[in-house]
Every structure is written in structure tokens, then in C-alpha cells.
Structure 1
Amino acid sequence: MSSVESPPFIRTIEWDMMDKTKFFPLSMLSSFSVRCCLYPLTVIKTRLQLQKRNHMYNGMLDAYRKMYRSEGMAGLYRGFWISSIQIVSGVFYATTYEGVRHLLGQNEVTSKLDTRFKALIGGGAASLVGHSIVIPFDVLSQHLMVLGVNIKHGRLVVDKMSMNPLGLTFQPGMSRAQISSEIVRLIYQRDGIRGFYRGYIASLCAYVPNSALWWGLYTTYQEELIRALPMWVSHLFIQAVAGTLGGFTTTIITNPLDIVRARLQVQRLDSMCNALKVLWAEERLKMFTKGLSARLVQSACFSCSIILGYETIKRFSVNEEYKSYIRW
């Protein structure tokens, strides 16, 4: 067997190889930093997905220009602090992913599974746990994202082109915190606790396959790149490229499911079937590419950044006995 097929280094840093006191705080810091940098793309993607045809924005760059001109940087970070709570769910996500892969490796039957299948199963389980925690904050942050509201010189200004699915009435002098609390009140008033889990099944149908596919493809691309590229190429670089390719592929496959999820959570449609019917009536075949450009850019940047951060943190957190077997 050649040295390319059996490289003298650890390809995957496993759960039991790491010091968790280093891993968890560094992981949260990395997740927050990436979300902070890429959040405007999430806002733009959400608005593109929720608009009917192109009645507000003609693509990603047009959305950015119009939002920045009418709402400033605050518009591009609308709902950020609510959404940033996802870094807590991110800890559960990473723990579940690594834990499931570890358990599959320990079991006599599942230990024989291909690493790609272990990654796929771990990614799906991680998404199920992580998104079950974060769905209420996701619903709230998306309502905030689509509101074209800004505070200029101490006065609240409403963009006439904005979306307002809850019919929120804006009062003079309202702060962002008051707007958020009013959205919470209206959701609870209309649907009770269930309102904060609107689109839960659709979210799982979008996120669980997305996460499972992404981790499975990430592992597949990584193995293929290791075989194809010379040994001197940085392993961390290979992982970043594999993550980006995995993100691109997964995004193209799951884009319609993500649009259905967003519409169920914000536009208050009754079911996934109804959301698909409305989407098909409005967009026809364009439903497969609606908001795709923003989502592809977001996915590529997010996947690359997350993997760079995640795999770097794993290297810093690895126990001393394994450090000589780690390749950067």
C-alpha cells in the first residue's frame, strides 16, 4: 500500500483525542466570529426567498445596495443578537456530531461503517438536536430580518418596500428591543407556543438532510483530494476546499426545501404542501434558483470559514500525545 493511501498522520481528530476545556470555549468564539462576519448574507438570502418574484430586489447585489441605502448597516444586521443565540445550539451540534461518530466507532457492528456514512449519520443527528433548540430564535430573527425598519437620528423610519407579515404597527419612539418584544407578543397572541415552532417539520426536512449531506460530502471530498494532491499540500487547506465543495453541492440540492422552511415560518402558510403550491404558482421552475446566488455565496463562505475554524480549534485542543501525528 502506497504512502499516499496510508499517510503517516491522523486525518480526523476524534472526540476522545481532544481536551474539551479548550474545545468548547474556542468553538463558541469561532462560531460567533463567523456568524458576525457572514450575517448580512443570511438577511439578504431570507429577503430574496420571501419576496414574490422580484418585486423588491433583482438579485443579491441589488438587495445589498437597496438595503444599505435605505436601512444602513443596521438593516444588514437586523435580528443579529437574537440569531447569535445559535452559538449555544452550536455547542450541542458539535457535541452531538462528534459524540455520535465516536459511539458508532465504539460499537462492534457500526465501527465497520465507512467514515463517510459515520459523518452523514453524525451530521443528521447533530442538526436534529441543534435546530430543535434554536427554532424559536430562528422564527423571531427571520421576522426581524424582513422588516425594513431603521432608527435615524433617534426616529423610527419604516421602508415602504419592506415586508410586514404580522401586520406590526410601528409607534413613534419604538426601540429595536420594543419591536422584538412586540413580534413575540403577536406570535404568541395568534398561535401560542406553537407559533414559535412554526415550520419545525419543514426546518428539520431542510436542515437535517442538509447537515447530513454536508458532512458526508465533506468527508468524501476530503478523501478524494488527499488521494489526488501531493503530500506537501496543507491538510487544513484540503479540508477548507472540501468543506466549500460540500457546501456548494448541498446548497444546490436542498435550496427549495430552505425556501419552503422560510415561507412557513414567516408568511404563516398552513403546510409544506401548501407552501410548495404557492411557490410553484409564483415562481414555476425559478423556485429552484430563488435566492440561490446569495445562498451559494453564504454557503461557500460559511463552509470554508467554519471548517477552517473548527479544524484549527480541534488541532489546538488535541491532547499532547497526538500532536506529533497532526498535520497542518
Structure 2
Amino acid sequence: MGSLTASLPNSHRGPIRTIEWEMLDKRKFYPYSMMSSFTVRCFLYPLTLVRTRLQVQHHNAIYSGTFDAFRKILQHEGVKGLYRGFWISCFQVVSGICYVSTYEGVRHILDKNGVTNPKIKSSVGGSCASLVGQTIIVPFDVISQHLMILGLVSKQGKSVSANPLAIKTEGRTKSQITWDVTRTIYYRDGFRGFYRGYLASLANYVPSSAAWWTFYQLYQEILTTLPPLLPHTGTQCVAAVMSGCTTSIITNPMDLVRTRVQVQRRSIPETIRFLWATERLRIFSKGLTARMTSSSIYSLAIILGYESVKKMSVLPAYKDEVRW
């Protein structure tokens, strides 16, 4: 659609539903994207932390569910407990820019080579974007997950052993603890320690990203055939939430494996065997509520920001045709 629309004179162009890469002013797009991504991360990071802790715990040894986890973290650790590892995870903003650039760039290349099916472009673009994004972010993900699980408290209010690196936390600042985690990982496993769970991340996030963008495109197409109850951006947000829920259900077991591999230092086959022996069919539901909640809210916030940023960054020649 992008190349065809761009080639037509203004008087013959119809409303633009999908803003393509060549329609964007990159000088506006990149800074707006970084601000949007950081804002979303600030508000929604606690959901990621809670999901990680639910996935790491054995059965329901610490938290009985998502809301119980929030309550206990606030009770025993305060608000700052919900933001353990936040600053190191902020490097994901850089990863996010690379992700978006890859996604849009691959879509653009496919379009130039005659691939016009939007679902195919979304699927391939999402896969490539996730491959690039995970290669950049996995080291920071490994560090932040170790930070997330520090300070776990049992149902009896006692500290529990969830510190596989044996990091000392008492009397230490956040920066000192972060440095200790980073240094210990390197001393134990070398540089490859920062890519622990990399294959598990790819196995989870590449198909997850491909599925998310495919379902997002599909749900948009379905919703646009219905009577228009919302503005176009509202329809995109609804499609994003539906896509987030669908993808979470499909990929939850692999996300559980990824988290356990990165934190508990087992191989992928060992982790799968251990999870099946201890959790059985709970692998399909463990942390799922937190993940669906997190994914739905993230999808809504990210797409609201992403699509709004694209519309604000569109080149002047296309502004009148953009649908808000």
C-alpha cells in the first residue's frame, strides 16, 4: 500500500490506514519513539517484575497470584520493590528503536520486492525485528531478572532463597548491587553468561513477535469491517489488546522456560524436564494472568504511543490523508 500511495498525486490518494516507513520524518520519529517507549516502561515495569517472580517461584510457595504478588511486594518491599532492576532494563529503549527500525525496514523492503500481503509483511517484519532486538537486549534482560527476584518474601513474611548468584544486598546501593550481579555473571560464565537463555529468548520472542504483528493486522482488518464505533487509533488499540491476549496464551510455556533458564542457570532441556516434573500442566497457566495483563496493557500503551508517534511524524505531503 505504501509504495502505491506514495506514487499517486495528493488529489487521488484516499485515507491512509497504515503509515509506511517512507512516509515518516525520521528526525521526529526517533526522539518521539524513545520518549514514548520510556514513558510506557516507567508505568508498566511493575507488571514485568510481578510476572517474572510468579514464573520463578515453585508452585505457589510465595505468591498465590498476580494481585497477591502486588500486595506482598508493596507490604514487604514498598513501591521501590516494584522497580527492582528498572534502570538496567531501560536499555531496552535502545533495543526498542532497533526493533521498530528493523520491523518497518523489512516491511519496506518486502513492499519494494512485490510482497503486498500485509499479514505476510507483518509476520516477517516482526520475526526479523525480534531477532535484532533480542540480540541487543538479552544481556540487560539477564541482569535485570536477577535484580527483580532479590528480596523475595515467603507467605510467612520471611526472606526466601531466590539469589542464585549469592549477591549481598544489605547496606548496598542499587548501583553496587547491579555491578555485583554483572561482575558475578562474568566471573562465573564469561561473556556468554550474559547470553544465558538467548536461544530460549529467540524461541519465545521471534515466533511471539511474528504472531503478535500478524494477529494485530488480522484483528485490524476484522474490526474495520464492523460499524465504526471508535476512531481509527482506537480500533488499532483494541486490535493490539486482542493480539496481546492471543499471543500470550499461545507462547506462555516458552516464556516460562526462557525466564527459568536465565535465572536458574539450567539448560533448556533440563529446564523443560524440571518444569514438567514439578509443574505438569501448570506450565500453560503459570504466570499467565500476569503475562496476559502485562501484554494487554503493554500492547495498548505501545500501540497508542507507536501509532500516535507515526501520525505525528508523518511527512507534510501525507498529513491530510492520515486517519486518526
TM-score range normalised by the length of the shorter chain = over 0.9
Deviations 1:179-226 (A, max 9, x none): 111111211111011100000000000111111100010001001100
Deviations 1:121-159 (A, max 9, x none): 001100000110011000000000000079xxxxxxx96
* Structure 1 counterpart of 2:183, one-letter code: R
Of 105, 127, 130, the match for 1:127: 130
* Structure 2 counterpart of 1:283, one-letter code: E
Q: Is residue 55 from structure 1 mapped to residue 61 from structure 2 by the alignment?
A: yes
Alignment of 1:291-310 (within 5 A): 291-310=287-306
Residue pair 2:152, 2:160 contacting (<8 A) in 1 also:
no
CA distance, structure 2, for counterparts of residue 274 and residue 162 of structure 1 = 20
CA distance, structure 2, for counterparts of residue 229 and residue 184 of structure 1 = 53
Deviations 1:95-121 (A, max 9, x none): 00000000000013xx24x11110010
Residue pair 1:70, 1:159 contacting (<8 A) in 2 also:
no
CA distance, structure 2, for counterparts of residue 317 and residue 125 of structure 1 = 23
Aligned to 1:227, what secondary structure does the other structure show? coil
Aligned to 1:228, what secondary structure does the other structure show? coil
Q: Is residue 169 from structure 1 mapped to residue 183 from structure 2 by the alignment?
A: no
CA distance, structure 2, for counterparts of residue 34 and residue 278 of structure 1 = 35
CA distance, structure 2, for counterparts of residue 305 and residue 233 of structure 1 = 17
Of 267, 280, 284, the match for 2:276: 280
* Structure 2 counterpart of 1:229, one-letter code: P
Deviation at 1:162, TM superposition (A): 5.3
Match of 2:238 in 1: 241
Q: Percent identity?
A: 53
Q: Is residue 90 from structure 1 mapped to residue 96 from structure 2 by the alignment?
A: yes
CA distance, structure 2, for counterparts of residue 227 and residue 162 of structure 1 = 53
Runs of 4+ in structure 1 over 3 Å off: none
Q: Is residue 21 from structure 1 mapped to residue 39 from structure 2 by the alignment?
A: no
Residue pair 1:78, 1:144 contacting (<8 A) in 2 also:
yes
Match of 1:213 in 2: 211
Alignment of 1:190-205 (within 5 A): 190-205=188-203
Residue pair 1:146, 1:162 contacting (<8 A) in 2 also:
no
Match of 1:227 in 2: 225
Q: Is residue 259 from structure 1 mapped to residue 256 from structure 2 by the alignment?
A: yes
CA distance, structure 1, for counterparts of residue 80 and residue 273 of structure 2 = 34
Worse overlay, 272-281 or 121-130 = 272-281
Aligned length: 309
Match of 1:3 in 2: none
Q: In structure 2, do the counterparts of structure 1 residues 159 and 34 end up closer, same or farther at CA, with 3 Å as the change threshold?
A: farther
Residue pair 1:206, 1:258 contacting (<8 A) in 2 also:
yes
Residue pair 2:139, 2:195 contacting (<8 A) in 1 also:
yes
* Structure 2 counterpart of 1:190, one-letter code: R
Match of 2:139 in 1: 136
Q: Is residue 116 from structure 1 mapped to residue 116 from structure 2 by the alignment?
A: no
Deviations 1:271-308 (A, max 9, x none): x2211111111111011000001001101100001000
Residue pair 1:120, 1:212 contacting (<8 A) in 2 also:
yes
* Structure 1 counterpart of 2:223, one-letter code: L
Of 82, 86, 107, the match for 2:113: 107
CA distance, structure 2, for counterparts of residue 258 and residue 162 of structure 1 = 22
Q: In structure 2, do the counterparts of structure 1 residues 130 and 276 end up closer, same or farther at CA, with 3 Å as the change threshold?
A: same
CA distance, structure 2, for counterparts of residue 233 and residue 64 of structure 1 = 33
CA distance, structure 2, for counterparts of residue 159 and residue 218 of structure 1 = 43
- Provide structure 1 residue ranges, at least 5 long, that are not aligned to the other structure: 1-6, 151-157
CA distance, structure 2, for counterparts of residue 173 and residue 256 of structure 1 = 37
Of 294, 305, 319, the match for 2:315: 319
Residue pair 1:148, 1:159 contacting (<8 A) in 2 also:
no
Deviation at 1:166, TM superposition (A): 1.3
* Structure 2 counterpart of 1:167, one-letter code: A
Of 73, 85, 108, the match for 1:79: 85
Question: What TM-score comes out, normalization by structure 2 length?
Answer: 0.93
Deviation at 1:176, TM superposition (A): 1.2
Residue pair 1:97, 1:126 contacting (<8 A) in 2 also:
yes
CA distance, structure 2, for counterparts of residue 22 and residue 143 of structure 1 = 35
Question: What TM-score comes out, normalization by structure 1 length?
Answer: 0.91
